[in-house]
Amino acid sequence: MNRRIVICLLSIVLCPFSLRAQERQNTSRANQCIDIFTDVMRQVDVNYVDTLNYETLTETAINSMLRKIDPYTVYYPKKKDDDLRMMTTGKYGGIGSIIQQRPLAKGKGERSKAKGSKDSLATYAVNPYEGKPAQRAGILAGDRILSVDGKSTMGLTVSEVSNNLRGEPGTTVVLEIEREGVEKPFKVSIVREDIHLEPVSYYTVLTADTLPEPVAYIAFSEFTEGSAQAFANALDEMYYTRGARKLVIDLRGNGGGIVDEALQIVNLFVDRDQMIVETRGKTARSNNVYRTRSNPRYKDLPIVILVDKNSASASEIVSGALQDLKRAKLIGQRTFGKGLVQNVRPIAYGGHIKVTTSKYYLPSGRCIQAIDYSERQKGHELKRDTAGGILPDIVLNDSSKVDICYSLYINHYFFDYATRYHRLHESIARPEEFEVTDEEIEDFCKFLDERKFKYETETGKFFADMIKMAKHEDIDSATIAQLEAFEPVLTPDFREAIERNKEEVKQMLGSEIVLRYYYQKGQAAFNIRFDKELHRALQEIK
């Protein structure tokens, strides 16, 4: 017995020394690798035939190394301070508009075939935010941006154009714009501002004969500084002023953000000093237990949370903790499974690194990141109970499908028609009442004819490739003729396809049109009328 005690005591005493020895070994290996990299750079510097851009080489090497670890450990050189500030605060200096690149149209809508070349891509304003500088200056969705401060956008990536649009608040940027229906390009001067995107993208009180009590609905888009207060303000207004007595929180597409904002939101609904999430990592400072700090304001408010495969990180903390603590019912699809914690650390020459330091664990003890990221990179099939993320109480199938609507959307035909519609119609009904008519669907079909739209199904593309391959292989001509005779069956008439999917076409076209007149909040008000997952949530919250 005494011998066992001595062995246990020796283990306790020697354990710290063993850990420190391991740390010294790891440090030594890291220093060796750094020496190798430095020596390679020095040899290239001295001997390579041409002059090199060492900043670009170093940034490429760092980024390649970090991608081998996980997608969330990221290097930010000083020149990307704006990106870092946007990530942590939701603020940036700019004009307040989403831009997009797409193939440059030829003639009347014949798309460029050089889709892989950035020189064939044109840059468009697709979503000016209401009340932001771009919108106030008159920029419209569908405007093509020809140049920024005299520098052509052709040949630039969307990231490069975006960087040119951003800058210090108070400075002026000049855009050269081409607009449908306007004969010549024109210039617009815009004063950059500190852009802060609203974390509560939309909220309203839902009432209906089928609902016994008014239901508060909050679409929450990101966990940035002050987002929890914005959430609380919206809920207070709907509860105390508008009589809402139940709550639906929409976290679909919310990629997360600051953990403290998530804690504050959970604290609205659960008791003080309740453990919400725990982090466990390599170092002592990475191990933390996060608890609620105050008494709840809405302890008994019934809650349903909508989640999907793009709900991640802080969204999973809120939904997972409220599920564990029996305070909310979850509806939708399994969440993304981003249970890794990042901290931003300063590094040499004004840069920063956002590095993964620990993992999240919920009140039940389950880890959001239930499987190592490397397994996902390898494309391994994940089992239902080990796939990570949060499994909803009611799982709904992803309703997205590849059909005529998908083809029209990815080829920008909804967008382009809405641009023309806005030019020809001064106003439309309120989002809650606006509807696309059958006559407008017929006009849309004529528009597609003008643009020489050809509906190609993925099956049809595969079949065409199969015929090409058959012609190259030793397949007899009679068989090839039979295949070619069958090919038209897989090339459906787009009008028939639109008729089969008319209600969905009306919704997607109407959503794009409403955005032109009522911006993001109006589009949300229009879309919730057709939101099947929200309607299911309302059934469950009765």
Q: Which long-range contacts (C-beta less than 8 Å, at least 24 apart) are formed by 45-48?
A: none
- Helix (H) / strand (E) containing 62: helix 54-67
Contact 121, 101 (CB under 8 A): yes
Say how far apart CA 161 and CA 154 lie, in whole Å: 9
Q: Could you tell me which CATH number the domain at 200-395 has?
A: 3.90.226.10
Contact 274, 293 (CB under 8 A): no
Q: For the chain, give every residue range classified as CATH 3.90.226.10.
A: 200-395
Say how far apart CA 85 and CA 62 lie, in whole Å: 21
Contacts of 372 (CB under 8 A, 6+ apart): none
pLDDT of residue 34: 87
Q: Does domain 92-195 have CATH number 2.30.42.10?
A: yes
Nearest residue to 133 via CA among 105, 102, 174, 164: 174
DSSP E strand stretches across 366-493? 394-395
Backbone angles phi, psi at 175, to 5 degrees: -105, 135
DSSP E strand stretches across 362-499? 394-395
Q: Which residues of the chain have pLDDT under 70?
A: 1-26, 86-91, 105-119, 370-387
Q: For the chain, give every residue range classified as CATH 2.30.42.10.
A: 92-195
pLDDT of residue 361: 95
Say how far apart CA 261 and CA 314 lie, in whole Å: 8
- Helix (H) / strand (E) containing 75: strand 74-76
pLDDT of residue 370: 60
pLDDT of residue 106: 47
Nearest residue to 236 via CA among 268, 201, 264, 276: 268
Contacts of 84 (CB under 8 A, 6+ apart): 76, 344, 352, 354
Say how far apart CA 436 and CA 505 lie, in whole Å: 9
Say how far apart CA 89 and CA 81 lie, in whole Å: 12
Contact 147, 176 (CB under 8 A): yes
Here the tokens at position 209 are: 């004969």
